[in-house]
Structure 1
């Protein structure tokens, strides 16, 4: 098993390290800035006030779609998704990616969990909301998928960056929309969760690679 991990393809393709380091730094800045802006905030301000009335309270059949996305971020749904992805990565001999699926998502969700009481932003008067853990989880899973596709398809650097960021945006936007539509988060909560994943997952991928290389 040790040899399998050591010789497996990198969790983070080398060509993506530079671009994602820059993206991660920018994402971290956004997370901190939004956290400061909405520190102990409990109401609609700025872009949230402009967007939320037109998104919150979505009706069927779109509400059912939102509930399906939301289930993917709940404990049972997320465990199913993470388990399926980890097994799929293992089956295609991306062992490091399988490890990243677990530790990368766990670290991402942990950051959002710790961040909520620190920022102290609430929605509906009592529920901590910033940053969105559901959105962070969906974005983290999309990043891992994009890393694997980049390697398997042998993509060039520019195309790989577009693929990685494109899948992250699609997954983050879908889950973010669902959370806002269900009234669980403000739009900037979703943006914060998206940026947490961009900041954490590449760093965890590098950590996985460094540990694996030393086995």
Structure 2
């Protein structure tokens, strides 16, 4: 059975920077929202560009948004959990199983009500579809056992996220700023959980390590 992966000192500062940046983006973006939570100038510009380019190909939107559909995301998540469980890497399997869905719950039941940006009949900021996809993708990136796998997972996730964003904006599900906020929220929360749990696990396993180094 494998324990929590060690967190090298050279990764602490980048992870902290990612969390801080994600929190700042999540909190500061709503300052640009018009009264009533309508689209910003940036939203209109991106929306116009997408619709003028792809509205004649509506099936493209459906294809692009598919990777964010809950059954697809949860299927990929389950495959990852089963893979690490089969390898008896229980820490990675557990983190992948719990962290992304916990972030989805925090966003759904807390964060959306902080900004209360109404779109159609639901609260749109931060985008729930985006939070779920990015939370799962971020978890996969963080627990990747090698730098090469981490880079590969990041590139795949980025490409899919761009496709998903185009599809959701094209269908009118979300404003672009909802997607940006959802991305920042998911990355910040999952990264913070990863750093905190990794550090806590190693302190628990080595309670006297700090005393020996002093």
- Name the residue aligned to 2:3: 8
Deviations 1:101-139 (A, max 9, x none): 122202321232121122111223x32100012112222
5+ unaligned residues in a row in structure 2: which ranges?
A: 206-214
Once residues 162 and 8 of structure 2 are traced to their aligned partners in structure 1, the CA distance between those partners, rounded to angstroms, is 24
Deviations 1:47-98 (A, max 9, x none): 0011112225743331231342242xx3x44432322221122224432221
> Alignment RMSD, CA only?
2.8
- Name the residue aligned to 1:26: 21
- Name the residue aligned to 1:189: 178
TM-aligned CA deviation for residue 31 of structure 1: 0.2
Residue among 184, 196, 204 paired with 1:207? 196
- Name the residue aligned to 1:179: 168
TM-aligned CA deviation for residue 19 of structure 1: 0.4
TM-aligned CA deviation for residue 154 of structure 1: 5.1
5+ unaligned residues in a row in structure 1: which ranges?
A: none
Once residues 87 and 165 of structure 1 are traced to their aligned partners in structure 2, the CA distance between those partners, rounded to angstroms, is 21
Residues 199 and 24 of structure 1: is their aligned pair in 2 closer, same or farther, counting only changes over 3 Å? Answer: same
1:95 matches 2:93: no
Once residues 6 and 85 of structure 2 are traced to their aligned partners in structure 1, the CA distance between those partners, rounded to angstroms, is 12
TM-aligned CA deviation for residue 163 of structure 1: 5.8
TM-aligned CA deviation for residue 14 of structure 1: 5.4
Residues 166 and 79 of structure 1: is their aligned pair in 2 closer, same or farther, counting only changes over 3 Å? Answer: closer
Once residues 17 and 170 of structure 2 are traced to their aligned partners in structure 1, the CA distance between those partners, rounded to angstroms, is 31
1:118 matches 2:107: no
TM-score by length of 2: 0.78
1:61 matches 2:59: yes
Once residues 36 and 65 of structure 1 are traced to their aligned partners in structure 2, the CA distance between those partners, rounded to angstroms, is 32
Once residues 50 and 154 of structure 1 are traced to their aligned partners in structure 2, the CA distance between those partners, rounded to angstroms, is 37
TM-score by length of 1: 0.78
Residue among 155, 159, 170 paired with 1:170? 159
- Name the residue aligned to 2:138: 143
SS class of match (1:106): helix
Once residues 16 and 33 of structure 2 are traced to their aligned partners in structure 1, the CA distance between those partners, rounded to angstroms, is 26
TM-aligned CA deviation for residue 11 of structure 1: 7.7
Tell me which structure has the larger Cα radius of gyration. 2
